[in-house]
Amino acid sequence: METITPRQREIVTLARSQGRVAVEELAARYEVSAQTIRKDLNQLCEQRIMSRVHGGAVVASSVENLAYEARRFIARDEKIAIGRAAAALIPNDASLFINIGTTTEEVARALADHRGLLVITNNLHVATLLYPHPRIEVIVAGGPVRRSDGGVVGAAAVDLIRQFKVDYAVIGTSAIDPDGALLDFDYREVRVSQAIIENARQCLLVADSLKLERSAPIRIGHLRDIDVFVTDRLTSAPLRELCRGAGISVVETAGPDAPTETEG
């Protein structure tokens, strides 16, 4: 395997800390041409160290997730828009699950003005965002807290989730496979997410389009388990057709007429 240059090594380190790197910013940082940076990124991608995304690249891994702060940085504006669009689909006086994820946290942030909500979550960040609001009741699943991102995972969390039957589930995923499989990195988190899907009357998946470019080793479920898919842009024609055939509503937040909704 090719060795990487000192600059390429620095680029990988920067991507790990920030979540992604942009061609133009790297060109300015290293005082080289954009073409030179693209060559660096292409070489890193050929070695499967990074994966190209529009305008730059992210660290490539199908077995280990990016750090929590790095995930917050990736597609931040898209996640905010997705969060607002998903929150708009949830009425007042509803019960809901919210699982672990930086996008689901944006949904929680956008729910702050709702009233009469009962929110059950295994995400300490979601609980921190919502518990100060007097018109929202928050229940936190018990169990070990994952130090990396404040996620509560394990059998105790699954047991608590199974005691409820709620109106809505808001779930995130680390990757969406071309065949529609929803994927993640931690089997303990996956078990909680599966229990959430099984015990909600309607399930909303919130995921930005970069999730279509990533991979992860553990299967949560399939798009067919979802009722509504809220994303910035559904770029895959086969997945769009899958949603249409399965009756999944797709809400896209990007574009001149955003948000838009297409019925499956």
Task: Profile the chain (264 residues) by mean pLDDT over runs of 10 residues.
Answer: 78 80 94 94 82 80 54 77 98 97 95 97 95 96 87 93 98 94 92 96 95 88 97 95 97 70 57
Q: What are phi and psi of 47, to 5 degrees?
A: -90, 5
pTM comes to 0.76
Q: For residue 129, what are the contacts with CB-CB under 8 A and spacing of at least 6?
A: 105, 108, 109, 112
CATH number of 6-60: 1.10.10.10
Please answer whether residues 127 and 138 qualify as being in contact, where contact means their C-beta atoms are separated by less than 8 angstroms.
Answer: yes
Please answer whether residues 90 and 116 qualify as being in contact, where contact means their C-beta atoms are separated by less than 8 angstroms.
Answer: no
pLDDT at 52: 80
For residues 180-215, b (16+ Cβ closer than 10 Å) or e, as one string? bbbbbbbebbbbbbbbbbebbeebbbbbbbbbbebb
Q: Which of 47, 39, 37 lies closest to 14 in space, CA to CA? A: 37
Domain boundaries, given as residue ranges, for the chain: 6-60, 71-262
Count how many Cα atoms sit within 13 Å of the Cα of residue 94 in the half-sphere of its side chain: 18
How far is 24 from 27, CA to CA, in rounded Å?
A: 5
Output DSSP code: residue 196: H
Q: Which of 227, 236, 228 lies closest to 180 in space, CA to CA? A: 236
pLDDT at 67: 57
Please answer whether residues 175 and 185 qualify as being in contact, where contact means their C-beta atoms are separated by less than 8 angstroms.
Answer: no
Please answer whether residues 249 and 261 qualify as being in contact, where contact means their C-beta atoms are separated by less than 8 angstroms.
Answer: yes
Tokens of 56: 């730059």
Domain 71-262: state its class: alpha beta
Q: For residue 159, what are the contacts with CB-CB under 8 A and spacing of at least 6?
A: none
pLDDT at 65: 53
Q: What are phi and psi of 168, to 5 degrees?
A: -135, 150
Tokens of 109: 């942030």
Q: Where are the alpha helices (DSSP H) in 3-152?
A: 6-18, 23-30, 34-46, 68-73, 76-88, 102-110, 124-130
Burial class (CB in 10 A: 0-12, 13-18, 19+), 251: buried
pLDDT at 150: 86
Straight-line distance from the first to the last Cα atom of the chain, in angstroms, rounded to the nearest whole number: 46
